Structures are given as structure tokens and as C-alpha cells.
Chain A
């Protein structure tokens, strides 16, 4: 099956969106809880010191556990998280050249701090991306937006987010059609340089603009006065609080206690004693 780039991206996005309509215990949780949990997770991951590597590893169990509990395909999540790799690599790529402080001596090979911080950046990016993707996959963007609103984010910003999400699909479809039409008439050549591309983007922008005006008209026609009224019953009770505290506690524990190091030291101690 050959799917054009934009259509492919659109399909994947829909797939992610479809996952959010699942019905596991995690899906049913209050979106505020999940939002705060993801935030706590990302915060613990990024707050490690720059050379941290082994301490980050146990954090990979968290997304795996979430996938298992929510019945999500972990491969799909991993593939989506991997989309941030190029950016992470770009950000960290210079580190090995600037930071030559010796961190580890393996026989004749010395590994500098630059390599450690580079690997650390990549791991953190992967973990943070996985957290964000899982949040969307078990909550859905509309519910996340609602959680944001109830946690005090200004309503206009939340509305923007919702509109962006709704019309992302429409815009992407239009872009896909335009690029398909261009491909069909470009006779196998890879486009005709920046000119037609710029015209296409400009055209899309103008069309979105006109659409935005029509949407606004449709909203006014149904009595819109600038206020979104929404109501959906979610509960944030003691159970939710306990679940959140448990999760944050786990994050804190993993952040403060370096499990691989402890395990390693214990194993080494055992070995030494046996020897």
C-alpha cells in the first residue's frame, strides 16, 4: 500500500485519536489526573543532572506499563515517540565535541561527558514524547483541553487548542488534495521548486482564512456570544487523588533513587562476598 506523505500522517493521527475512544480503567480516569501525572513524569525526567543515564532507564517501564494497562499497541507508541529523535539528535549532537571531561574509562577507551549528555538528551526526549503521546492516546485532545480549562488555563487558549485540533483534519485533507493534484501534473519531477510550493501554501492560508470566517458566521447564527458553555461530569475525588499521589510518588522514587546503580552495587557486593 502506498500512501502519500500527508495522507499517511493524517491516518496516523486518526489512529491515535481512535485509541482515545478506548474504554480501559485508564481511559475512564479524570483527564485532570492524567494531565498532572504526565506533567509530573516529564518533570522528573527532565530534572535529572546532565550526565544522568542509568537513572533514566527505569522510567521506560512507566510507558510500557501504561500501554499494557490501557491495551495500547506499544510499537505504535514507540514509533510515534521516535519522531522526536531527529530533533533530540540535532540538539545534542554538538555535546561530544565540546565536553571532553572524562566520565568513564573502559580499558583503553575513555568516554567523555559529551557522549553521556548526548545520550541523556536523546533518552529524555524519547521519554517525554512517549508521555505526551500516551496522554493523548488514553485521554483524547478534547478532554485534555477541558482539563486544562478546569485547571485554570484561560478559556480563549483552550478554545484555540480545540479549534486547531478540529480543523487540523480539514486543513490536512485540503493540503493532501492540493499536493496530490500537483503531483499528478508534475510528470514525475519532484515539484517545480519553491515557486509553486509557495503558491500552494498561500492558497491554503487564504482558504483557511475564508473558512474561519464561514465558521464564525455559523457560530454567530447559533447564538454564539463569545462564551463556550460546556459541561461534562468528571470526578476528582479521594480515589483520584490517591492514584495521582501514588503515581507522583513512583516518579519521585525513581527520580531520587538510582535503581540500576543500587542493583549493580548489590550484585557487585554479592559477587565480592562470594569471591
Chain B
């Protein structure tokens, strides 16, 4: 694959109330990369993600997905290749049962019968949620909801997986499960998170966002070692890279 899977070119965005959220953002992401977008609250992470799936359109500049510029004309194609997992699973799971919810996307793609069933079970198996198929969403735990939300997107067979805060609010075990999934996928992955320990383990590249601008773009090891840079962006190195709070080493 020569051309990048995701490319942002001079992307600027302001909300209707004139809050400037993104200032001239440019980056390219290639096939199979696992990229974390990190930054303080209000740095523009979520706004940037919404640009990638065409939920928001840039004020100036553009986003290209697999070479296609994101516009109203290409929206359906873009949404087929970008699978977006929202931060609140309750916003994503709206059908009466887990099975119906996972089937929602593929049905919109026109799948029926055996193909549909196979796609749904595959997606549920990928997140080990087969046993949840008949449950209604409100009877799932937060960790289960998160896994099912990921399955609903996997069932669309996207080229790019975009996840907003995949480990927020999960217990340690559920967090580990999600991290396991994130490392196992071979799709291009773009996630936002404040969980820098997770980022250090599952991502090969970090985009550091501060006040709507990209401050750094590089390997997690390099960026997390630069404590001055992190502090300037209201962040701290991952706990694993900080001194031990008991022995101080």
C-alpha cells in the first residue's frame, strides 16, 4: 500500500460558537499502524476523531481516507472503511439485543441470511461475547458493553478502527481484555486516551495534541521520555516510567 490510509491536510476546525478546536493539523497514517492521539482535556482529541468519520467537516483543509477526500459525496464509502467506537457504549448500543445491534451495520450494508449471521458471530467471537448475544444492552456490565460496542464496529469489516477512550472507566481486568483486543487486531488503529500506560503498550506511534495543534509526533518511548514536553501539555509520563512511589527508584 503506497498511499496512506488516513491523511489530514492543514485541517482547521472551529465550532459554531467560534471556539477554535483544531489549528492546521497535518499527519499521515499508514496501513496497520497503531496510533494514539493524546492530550489534555479540551486539546481537540475527540473533535479530531469526529473529523475522521465525517461526523464533523473541517472549516478549512481536508481529511482523506484511503485516498478519498471526506465530503458529503463520499460519506457512505468513508463510513464503510472507518469504524468508530464511541466513548459511551450506551450511545452506540441502541437495538433491543446485542445480536441485533451487531447486525445493525452489516444489515445496512445489505447483508442477509447466512452471510449476515456469519459476520455477526465472527465479530462477537473476536471480542469473546458470543454468550451475550441474546441479552439487551442495559443488562451488560461496562466492560461487556465496551466489548460489544467494538464488535458492532468490527462487523462492518472496517479498514480503520477509531476508538475514543477505549479503557476509560473499566476495571483492571476489563482494561486488560480491551488492551489484548487492541494488540490482536491487524486493522489500522487510531485511539485517544489518557491511559498512557496502555498507549505505551499497544501503540507504535503517538500524536501529542495541545490546544488544537500537534506538538509532537513520534514513538511512544521518545515522547514519554520528554517530561518537559509532557508537562507543557498538561500530561505526565506513564506510571510505569515514573519513579516508584514506595522506594523512589
Contacts and interface: CB of A to CB of B under 8 A. Distances in A.
A163 B94 CA distance: 7
Contacts of A219: 94, 104
Nearest to A146: B96
Interface residues of B, number: 33
B30 interface: no
B230 interface: no
Interface in B96-116: 96-97, 100, 104-105, 107-109, 112
B107 A218 contact: no
B138 interface: yes
A142 B97 contact: yes
Given A169-B138, A170-B138, A230-B100, A222 B94 contact: no
B84 A218 contact: yes
A166 interface: yes
Contacts of B96: 141-142, 162, 165-166
A177 interface: no
Nearest to A20: B136
A63 B246 CA distance: 67
B88 A214 contact: yes
Interface in A195-227: 211, 214-215, 217-225, 227
Contacts of B92: 215, 218
- Range, interface on chain A: 20 to 34
Contacts of A162: 95-96
Residue among B91, B97, B100 facing the most chain A CB atoms (10 A cut-off): B91
A223 B105 contact: yes
Contact of B79 (A142, A170, A223, A229): A223
B109 A223 contact: yes
Interface in A216-252: 217-225, 227, 229-231
Given A218-B86, A220-B79, A223-B79, A166 B91 contact: no
Given A222-B105, A223-B105, A166 B112 contact: no
A241 to B, nearest CB: 27
B31 interface: no
12 contacts: A17-B136, A142-B96, A166-B95, A166-B137, A214-B86, A215-B94, A218-B92, A219-B104, A221-B53, A221-B55, A223-B156, A224-B104
Interface of B: 50, 53, 55, 76, 79-80, 82-84, 86, 88, 90-92, 94-97, 100, 104-105, 107-109, 112, 134, 136-139, 152-153, 156
